[in-house]
Amino acid sequence: MSNNEEVNVFVDMSIEELQETVQEMSVQLRDAKLALKEKRLSGVRIALDARREADSELQEELKKLGYNYRIGGQFSTLSDVAHPFFRRF
């Protein structure tokens, strides 16, 4: 269907039919935008979940080695742990 044919379909509709069509299209547009957002952010969610899992595993391994590893704590990154002479004051 070309744009001219689509416009002609709308011209033949009553005001009430047009209002219903616009409302239905608004719902479809909202759903499409939500689906697009979900697809765009799915990779970010996967990466964040992987990072949380890696942080958890790292924390467990460092505890086994005797380090007090806490996110946001004294040893918040691997570089801090890798440099034991680095002290925060």
Residue 26 to residues 12, 19, 32, 33, 61, Cα–Cα distance (Å): 20, 10, 10, 10, 52
Average pLDDT over residues 3-27: 86
Nearest to 81 by CA among 73, 89, 31, 46: 73
Q: What is the mean pLDDT of the chain?
A: 79
Please indicate whether residue 87 or residue 7 has the higher confidence score (pLDDT). 7
φ, ψ (nearest 5 deg) of residue 13? -85, 155
Q: Is the pLDDT of residue 9 over 50?
A: yes
pLDDT band at 6 (very low <50, low <70, confident <90, very high): low
Q: Return the number of other C-beta atoms located less than 10 Å from residue 73's C-beta.
A: 9
CA separation for the pair 80, 58 (Å, rounded): 13
**pTM of the complete model beyond 0.85:** no
